[in-house]
Amino acid sequence: MGVRFIQAAAVALALVLAEPGTSRAFSLINGAWGERAAVWANGHGLEDGIDVGVAAGFEAALGITDPLEIDLFRQAVLAAFGSWENPALRFNVSFDASTTVDPGSGFELDLMALPYDHEAFGGDFLFGLATWQTDFGLRTLTNGVTALGSILTGTDIYLNTTAIAVIDAILVDDEDRTAAITRLLMHEIGHTVGVAHPFMYSNWDTDEDPHNAMEIDPLDPWSTLRPSEQLAEDAVMRVRPCGSDFINCPPLYYTSLTFDELGARDALYPVVPEPSAAALLASLAALGSLQRGRPRRLRAGAHPARPDVAPSEAEAAALERV
């Protein structure tokens, strides 16, 4: 399978890292794009969903001990993973799991909460850190295209309990706290599926408008994408959207992916639509009308069961919806 790389991304809401003033479209980890981009792949763990282990004691490490609060918090964790899902990219989340501080072991994605002085943070005062391990080789993308590139094989997310406690002490509203941690998790999950900070490498969009949906061709996503310099100030993958202000910063409390992240997901994990039941029915209707339209040889004295007719209005309408 080739050389194995272990890489760490210095990450979300970094207090110590400066970000250039603009943030553009989406960018991919390792700087690779197109068919070489680092992705989870079918046959390498993606086929049955990405198995997520949330460490035993994760909630308690973040100061959440009330059973009712734990339940609500777990809903937020599930929502953060759910926000990234499409039919090609799924997560199976297990709580109270046995995890490892090493992207190459444990679950395909381990989620843990560690104190600031843990060696995993390397002395950086970050809110969260995502790490990943990749192989390089031939893999089949979710649209069936086979190409050489990086394959994500193991990932970890570490939340910094020390940094989060500081913000928790300031945020009195439970909803704000839940939203802030959901957004932080969404950001880190983005790294574990192959998305970088917008300013890190080439930034991709389908046009020059960062605030519209990217219309991506699932059969050939990169044919529709091009580098863009346009600002998406509220993107979830953006670091420090309001500079050093972590409290009066609405984007830090958004709990939906923006068009940037959705575009990245659908470029990395394209979903080729299957024929819908409606389309199948319409095809059958079309087949039926074709058969009825065929000349029939009648035996003497026999009558056709029904006369040859053009498709009814209802059938014609069904055909147009295909």
Q: Which residues contribute to the site for Zn ion (CB under 5 A)?
A: 11-12
Residues 6+ apart with CB under 8 A from 58: 95, 111, 112, 113
Q: Which is nearer to Zn ion, 50 or 129 (CB)?
A: 129
Quick one: what does residue 283 bind among Zn ion, Ca ion, none, with the CB cut-off 5 to 8 Å set by partner type? none
Residue 128: phi and psi, rounded to 5, are -155, 160
Quick one: what does residue 45 bind among Ca ion, Zn ion, none, with the CB cut-off 5 to 8 Å set by partner type? Ca ion
Q: How far is the CB of 154 from Zn ion (least distance, A)?
A: 18
Does 146 contact Ca ion by CB under 5 A? Answer: no
- Work out whether the CA dihedral 47, 276, 308, 302 comes out positive or negative: positive
Residue nearest to Zn ion (CB): 11
Closest C-alpha among 243, 271, 15 to residue 141:
271
DSSP per position, 104-115:
TSSSSEEEEEE-
Contact window for Ca ion (CB under 5 A) among 5-13, 94-102, 177-185, 288-296: 94-102
Q: Which helix (H) or strand (E) holds 51?
A: strand 50-55
Q: Which is nearer to Zn ion, 19 or 69 (CB)?
A: 19
Q: Which is nearer to Ca ion, 158 or 254 (CB)?
A: 158
- Reduced to 3 states, what is the DSSP secondary structure of residue 26? strand
Polymer length of the chain: 322
Quick one: what does residue 12 bind among Ca ion, Zn ion, none, with the CB cut-off 5 to 8 Å set by partner type? Zn ion
Site for Ca ion (CB under 5 A): which residue of 209, 229, 245, 308?
A: 209
67 sits in the region (left: phi over 0; alpha: psi -120 to 50; else beta) called: alpha
Q: How far is the CB of 58 from Ca ion (least distance, A)?
A: 13
Quick one: what does residue 11 bind among Ca ion, Zn ion, none, with the CB cut-off 5 to 8 Å set by partner type? Zn ion
Residues that bind Ca ion (CB under 5 A): 45, 48, 51, 100, 102, 106, 110, 156, 205, 207, 209, 212
